């Protein structure tokens, strides 16, 4: 006779670091771990698929395949065996972006192991963001900074590619160097941003910021609640009525 409650019917077995738990089938891996009693101090940041802190590997019984996902974005499935990889040691080069050039020599000097890439595609298969990691590595090896930056744009630096690379390369730190070089030297500068930066340097916002720092909590709440909010249907030309700081 069926004796499960409605709630129990929705429970599924999962294995967290080898130990069996029954968790609601609608939960993400992250919430399921908390449901099972884990307190996530590391390996948990934005909870929204942005920070990359929650890289997770899992397998199903009888399958050779290692699956990957972000714990905050991946819903549990029955009988998954999982472990989070909250941090994976990575090579990280130090450089002064003002003193380097956007070329292949810079990439090679910062990460000489780049040339060890076998083009095996394991990194692409390990990426929870569906990024063509092998292709951006190929762009890096060609010194094509713009392509490296473009292909790696959605990287959340979770480290899953690095954890599986047979050439022991840290792809995401190479990619962020590429994006920094692209932003500093290759991308056309945004005119409106340059003018705001000039305003900042001239001290246009100093008085306003000092005023905010001198305002008590209640005053800050009032300012926040009374601020002019962009209408939901506003087009890109919308500007607030108070243009004091524009």
- Could you identify the residue written with the tokens 């089938």? 25
How long a stretch of residues is the chain? Answer: 246
Q: Is 33 in the site for ligand FES (CB under 6 A)?
A: no
Among 10, 47, 93, 144, interactor with ligand FES by CB under 6 A: 47
- Strand 67-70's sheet: what is its strand order? 19-24, 11-16, 81-84, 55-59, 67-70
* 3 state DSSP class of 23: strand
Which parts of 134-173 interact with ligand SF4 (CB under 6 A)? Answer: 134, 137, 155-161, 165-167, 169, 171-172
CA–CA separation, 27 and 29 (whole Å): 6
CA–CA separation, 194 and 230 (whole Å): 24
Which parts of 155-184 interact with ligand FES (CB under 6 A)? Answer: 156
Give yes or no for a contact between 152 and 122, defined as CB atoms under 8 angstroms apart: no
Among 16, 32, 44, 133, interactor with ligand SF4 by CB under 6 A: 133
CB of 172 to ligand SF4, least distance (A): 4
Per partner kind, with CB cut-offs from 5 to 8 A, the member of ligand FES, ligand SF4, none near residue 139 is: none
Among 16, 29, 70, 181, interactor with ligand FES by CB under 6 A: 70
CB of 56 to ligand SF4, least distance (A): 11
Per partner kind, with CB cut-offs from 5 to 8 A, the member of ligand FES, ligand SF4, none near residue 126 is: ligand SF4
Residue 21 in tokens: 């738990």
CB of 116 to ligand FES, least distance (A): 28
Burial 112-122 (b: 16+ CB within 10 A, else e): eebeebeeeeb
Q: Which is nearer to ligand SF4, 83 or 209 (CB)?
A: 83
DSSP string, 108-158: HHH-GGGGG-----HHHHT-TT---HHHHHHHHHHT-HHHHHHHTTT----
Q: Is 127 in the site for ligand SF4 (CB under 6 A)?
A: yes
Residues that bind ligand FES (CB under 6 A): 44-47, 49-54, 70-72, 156
Residues that bind ligand SF4 (CB under 6 A): 52, 117-123, 126-127, 129, 131, 133-134, 137, 155-161, 165-167, 169, 171-172
């Amino acid at each position: 006779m069926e004796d499960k409650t409605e709630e129990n019917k929705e429970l599924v077995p999962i294995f967290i670091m080898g130990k069996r738990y029954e968790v609601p089938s609608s939960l993400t891996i992250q919430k399921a771990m908390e449901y099972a009693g884990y307190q996530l101090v590391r390996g948990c940041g934005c909870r929204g698929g942005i920070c990359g802190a929650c890289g997770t590997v899992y397998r199903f019984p009888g399958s050779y395949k290692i699956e990957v996902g972000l714990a905050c974005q991946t819903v549990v499935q029955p009988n998954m065996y999982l472990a989070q990889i909250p941090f994976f040691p990575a090579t990280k080069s130090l450089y002064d972006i003002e003193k380097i050039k956007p070329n292949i020599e810079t990439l090679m000097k910062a990460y000489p192991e780049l040339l060890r890439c076998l083009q095996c595609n394991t990194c692409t298969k390990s990426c929870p963001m569906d990024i063509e990691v092998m292709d951006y590595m190929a762009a890096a090896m060609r010194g094509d900074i713009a392509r490296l930056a473009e292909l790696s744009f959605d990287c959340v630096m979770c480290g899953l590619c690095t954890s599986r690379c047979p050439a022991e390369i840290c792809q995401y730190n190479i990619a962020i160097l590429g994006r920094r070089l692209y932003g500093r030297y290759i991308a056309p500068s945004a005119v409106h941003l340059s003018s705001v930066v000039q305003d900042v340097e001239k001290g246009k916002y100093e008085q306003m910021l000092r005023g905010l720092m001198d305002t008590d909590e209640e005053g800050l709440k009032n300012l926040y609640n009374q601020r002019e909010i962009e209408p939901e249907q506003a087009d890109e030309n919308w500007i607030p009525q108070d243009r004091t700081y524009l």
